[in-house]
Structure 1
Amino acid sequence: MGTISLRNAGHRAGDLLFSDLNLVIADGDHVGLVAPNGRGKSTLLRAMAGQLELSEGELTRSRGLLVGYVPQDVAPAALGIDLHTFVADGLGPEQRETEAWRAEMVLEEFEIPSALRSRPLGELSGGWQRMALLARCWVREPNALLLDEPTNHLDLGRVGFVERWLSYAAKDLPVVIASHDRAFLDATTNRTLFLRPSEQPFFPLPFSKARSELDRLDEAAEAHRERDLKQAAQLRRQAATLTNIGINSGSDLLTVKSRQLRERADRIEGQVQSVHKDRTGVVRLGNSGADARIMLSFAKVEVATPDGRMLFVIDRLRLFQGERMVVLGRNGAGKSRLMALLTSALGGAEVEGLRISPQVAAGYMDQGLAWLPLDEAPFDFLAARSGDGDRRIIALLAGAGFSPERQTRPIATLSLGQRARLALLALRLARPNFYLLDEPTNHLDIPGQEQLEADIVEEGATVVLVSHDRTFLRSIGTRYFEIKGRRLVEVDGPEAFLDEQEKG
């Protein structure tokens, strides 16, 4: 039986990331590790993998436990290595000499095309790099798995593949998965750990059910906190009254009694624990509004590759104000080309058959965040895009979770999650009434995803969305279109397409 055990475990990296974590992960435990960006998920996984020492408590692995760890990204030094070699190197020099055949078996198991196996990792998409990381981990035949954002950059078909693979290959192993993909967590985990600075709620439930239970407990804790604070305030009022009476009457007994009431109030307030709040910051989007009824109108619009090869046609489509259009399609069908065409048109380029209301004020967010100037600081970047004063920019950044020192560091030093929040701030400052969103949740944590969903729905802005996040596109969409047979066809909903993708 393989186990990973934590006793009073905690870690500080400047701030306290987590503390007092007591947990045993055993065979068949598939644990979803949930926390906002920067709150210690990757740190805990690296510690479990033996790559980092925790600053507090104990972490032990059962004797002989071989842990397979999949980080978020391929190390830069490995980008020049071909995929086959990268996977085979997971065996180690001695084992590779006698068991190199294992690499071929795993590449077949993971259905990685032969044409990709001899190519350097740096020439492959993020999705294929992710599959290479999984294959390199699995080639060692580990008896425990630690996966850090395993669905990043994967299309829906590959996400479905990983879900199925975990269900049979890792069914009886201890598995810990750090992920912001809510649907993936529901499909692959049977336990959920919410990592927090001062408490670590753990439930023998998949994410959605665990989240509902956590919300219930947080509401109860908040209600209990309010009752305790009211009692403490009442004791202080009583103490103040007795103090006045004691002074006026010269009664030492009343003065002593007043002091006792204040001490009791101090004890109650000292015991009150604030209900946990995610501290990564919040970015609220808006809708500047428009009078136009039709925001976009398509009539025989062709979507083509950069070299002119036609991918599909939009015969006739009108997108009305407030509608949220989700575009579905397999990888390579043309979703990204459609988003590029719309971006170009919204920037002023003429596109035959496409009419855009002059009232459209567009905001765009892409999956790669490549448009962020990495050498600029967040403050300088936002100040150049906004007419708001310095204090306003500083307050916005602080509200989004950027400390004063992070506001003046280059964007290149920020995590991908922090860059995503900065991109959302830039989007907010653009004051759009039309959002063009290409995989906007790629690097957002779960609180950020939920906030983005709520803002878009509540504000009533018009949206065109491409996303592999099943929970997000289900929550956002009011109209769904699928690229089928070189046509963009409106469908009743996303479920048929999602089922087809998840089943491979």
Structure 2
Amino acid sequence: MISVDGIAVEFSGETLFSNVSFVINENDKIALMGKNGAGKSTMMKIIAGVQKASRGNVRCPKEAVIAYLPQHLLTDDDCTVFEEASKAFGQIHEMQQEMDRLNKELETRTDYDSDEYMGIIQKVTDLGEKFYAIEEVNYDAEVEKALQGLGFRREDFTRPTSEFSGGWRMRIELAKILLQKPDLILLDEPTNHVDIESVIWLEDFLLNKAKAVIVISHDKAFIDNITNRTIEVTMGRIYDYKANYTHYLQLREERRSHQLKAYQEQQKFIADTKQFIERFKGTYSKTNQVNSRERMLEKLDIIEIDEVDTSSLKLRFPPSARSGDYPVIAKDLSKKYDEHVVFKEANMSIGRGEKVSFVGRNGEGKSTMIKAIMGEIDFEGQCDLGHNAKVGYFAQNQAALLDPNLTVFQTVDEVAKGDVRTQIKNILGQFMFSGDHIDKKVGVLSGGERTRLAMVKLLLEPVNVLILDEPTNHLDIRSKDVLKEALLNFDGTLILVSHDRDFLRGLSNKVFEFKNKRVIEHFETIDAFLERNRMESLKEMDLKA
């Protein structure tokens, strides 16, 4: 059991939260929720021991292992993927090496009766007790299983970590954490850089093999599936619910309704009391009553209503000219890099107004297909944009392509044309950039802020074909909901690559699956696709058992 006791965080004269206490039990699966800036990541860092609280402390058993995966982290570049993941067992290997070293020293020494000799024997005994108490494990097999579960292929194991993107390095670090089998796993946005299959694997691991888990995530389906408890950080305090995210939302709404009712009743009481005081102040016969009520008001604890995050994106895609019947057509399309075939003889016809999803493991060719559609790479076969197709393209690294030296306003002003330039401040306000925020340099913006700013740039010109490659990374739940609503109302053609199942649900009516160098068309929703594939995976597991 790990306990958070009276934690407070204050900086620059402001209180982030104060006197926060709760207990983390052995098998708790906790979602840490709250609006952006409420202090969720700070709370997680304090529990992980990487940041100190202004007051209070975290108590845990001496032997407890706490593993922490932050939002942004890079592994070293001096080893292969397999070697980096194997560092999870570094402490065990060091223990074995130390035992071997001490045993060799005992073999060469002859001072059998000396204190030093007896001291070495005691060290070997203590280390041996710890080492042999550890369950015997095939460490290489465990590393292989974890890496494959998180989307790595066997041929990736010997590649240097320097060849992988930040997202893939994050997976290596996640593999190391899972392999340590810690008493508490702390995960800050773990699904931002993993595909749907890897998220499903991670869910299974956290539910069936992990002990206690605390997770911050904007993936509603993920946190609903793995958590049984929700801790909300709001207005400097916490509310603790024994419920998953969806149930927590209902309970929170009930709580706010009770708060509002109590607040209104208290405000009426205060108004009535003040009216009485004003009416009878100076009346000798009412002096004691007036004084009593004045003291009562002074001692009264004013009921506060918890804040609600009402800031949100208000996306409105501008109307555009009508495209031809088939804005995107691919025939016998193949792509390979040297001897590596990404996909071959792919055929695809996407009709005007269709909303389709590209799904599949990372590396199977989803982003490569988008680059072929955009004409950014060479390929074999045919890939054409249809008549009058005007494409808006949001790449995975779109936010990273922004100039860090420009301000928010300058970034938009650069691409704005005509009358829209007079509306820049209003447009930015719709994307939660207002007041001094528009004068911030891009370089100091968070990942979510950069993503929103990149989306503003995309929306400045009317398009009838939208291609979005992981648009929801770094967007909070409310922002994703509003973006999804806008996409549902978009009357053009949508091609969407996303690992976020909740975001995809109800948004596409056709799925293109990228698998085993093929592109397979499924006339079904993402729900039907996932349900069918889960069943197939279970059958395959039964066959292997």
TM bucket normalised to smaller: 0.7 to 0.9
Question: In structure 1, what is the equivalent of residue 46 of structure 2?
Answer: 47
The answer as to 2:116 corresponding to 1:87 is: no
Summarize deviations over 1:339-381 as a string: whole Å, max 9, x none.
3344459xxxxx85531436x5x54323223332233222221
Instruction: Work out the CA distance in 1 between the residues paired with 2:441 and 2:162.
Output: 24
AA in 1 matched with 2:232: F
1:332-481 paired onto structure 2 within 5 Å: 332-344=363-375, 353-357=384-388, 360=390, 362-368=391-397, 369-386=399-416, 393=424, 397=428, 400-402=431-433, 407-430=438-461, 432=463, 434-457=465-488, 462-481=493-512
The answer as to 2:220 corresponding to 1:221 is: no
- Quote how far apart the aligned CAs of 1:473 are: 0.3
- Counterpart contact for 1:285–1:452, Cα < 8 Å: yes
AA in 1 matched with 2:4: L
Instruction: Work out the CA distance in 2 between the residues paired with 1:408 and 1:354.
Output: 38
Question: In structure 1, what is the equivalent of residue 2 of structure 2?
Answer: 4
The answer as to 2:529 corresponding to 1:497 is: yes
- Quote how far apart the aligned CAs of 1:255 are: 11
Structure 1 residues 401 and 354, CA gap change in structure 2 (3 angstroms): closer
Question: In structure 1, what is the equivalent of residue 305 of structure 2?
Answer: 274
Task: Give SS of 1:63's match.
Answer: coil
Moved more, 465-474 or 86-95: 86-95
Instruction: Work out the CA distance in 2 between the residues paired with 1:332 and 1:188.
Output: 26
- Counterpart contact for 2:327–2:385, Cα < 8 Å: yes
1:314-325 paired onto structure 2 within 5 Å: 314-320=347-353, 323-325=354-356
The answer as to 2:140 corresponding to 1:104 is: yes
- CA-atom RMSD in angstroms: 3.9
Question: In structure 1, what is the equivalent of residue 322 of structure 2?
Answer: 292
Instruction: Work out the CA distance in 2 between the residues paired with 1:370 and 1:305.
Output: 26
Structure 1 residues 352 and 344, CA gap change in structure 2 (3 angstroms): closer
Task: Give SS of 2:234's match.
Answer: coil
Question: In structure 1, what is the equivalent of residue 63 of structure 2?
Answer: 64
- Counterpart contact for 2:355–2:508, Cα < 8 Å: yes
- Counterpart contact for 1:483–1:489, Cα < 8 Å: no
Instruction: Work out the CA distance in 2 between the residues paired with 1:80 and 1:36.
Output: 38
Structure 1 residues 93 and 327, CA gap change in structure 2 (3 angstroms): closer
1:72-83 paired onto structure 2 within 5 Å: 72-75=71-74, 78-83=76-81
AA in 2 matched with 1:21: V
Instruction: Work out the CA distance in 2 between the residues paired with 1:127 and 1:177.
Output: 18
Structure 1 residues 450 and 131, CA gap change in structure 2 (3 angstroms): same
Instruction: Work out the CA distance in 2 between the residues paired with 1:263 and 1:363.
Output: 64
Instruction: Work out the CA distance in 2 between the residues paired with 1:429 and 1:258.
Output: 63
- Quote how far apart the aligned CAs of 1:169 are: 1.7
Summarize deviations over 1:396-417 as a string: whole Å, max 9, x none.
5566455766544432332212
Instruction: Work out the CA distance in 2 between the residues paired with 1:343 and 1:262.
Output: 72
- Counterpart contact for 2:373–2:384, Cα < 8 Å: no
Instruction: Work out the CA distance in 1 between the residues paired with 2:460 and 2:264.
Output: 36
AA in 2 matched with 1:426: K
AA in 2 matched with 1:473: L
Q: Calculate percent identity across the aligned residue pairs.
A: 26
Question: In structure 2, what is the equivalent of residue 348 of structure 1?
Answer: none
Task: Give SS of 1:476's match.
Answer: coil
Task: Give SS of 1:418's match.
Answer: helix
Summarize deviations over 1:83-118 as a string: whole Å, max 9, x none.
233233344467436279875243123144443233
Summarize deviations over 1:299-353 as a string: whole Å, max 9, x none.
5545443769764544544222xx53333344444322333344459xxxxx855
Question: In structure 1, what is the equivalent of residue 236 of structure 2?
Answer: 198
Structure 1 residues 134 and 289, CA gap change in structure 2 (3 angstroms): same
Question: In structure 2, what is the equivalent of residue 122 of structure 1?
Answer: 162
The answer as to 2:199 corresponding to 1:166 is: no
- Quote how far apart the aligned CAs of 1:420 are: 1.8
Instruction: Work out the CA distance in 2 between the residues paired with 1:21 and 1:461.
Output: 49
Structure 1 residues 391 and 9, CA gap change in structure 2 (3 angstroms): farther
Instruction: Work out the CA distance in 2 between the residues paired with 1:48 and 1:156.
Output: 29
Task: Give SS of 2:401's match.
Answer: coil
Moved more, 307-316 or 457-466: 307-316
Summarize deviations over 1:164-206 as a string: whole Å, max 9, x none.
1222221xx2211122111111221111112223332221112
AA in 1 matched with 2:405: D
Task: Give SS of 2:177's match.
Answer: helix
* Aligned match for 2:172, one of 127, 132, 137: 132
Structure 1 residues 364 and 37, CA gap change in structure 2 (3 angstroms): farther
**Structure 1 residues without counterparts, runs of 5 or longer:** 346-350
AA in 2 matched with 1:437: L
- Counterpart contact for 2:29–2:226, Cα < 8 Å: yes
AA in 2 matched with 1:180: H
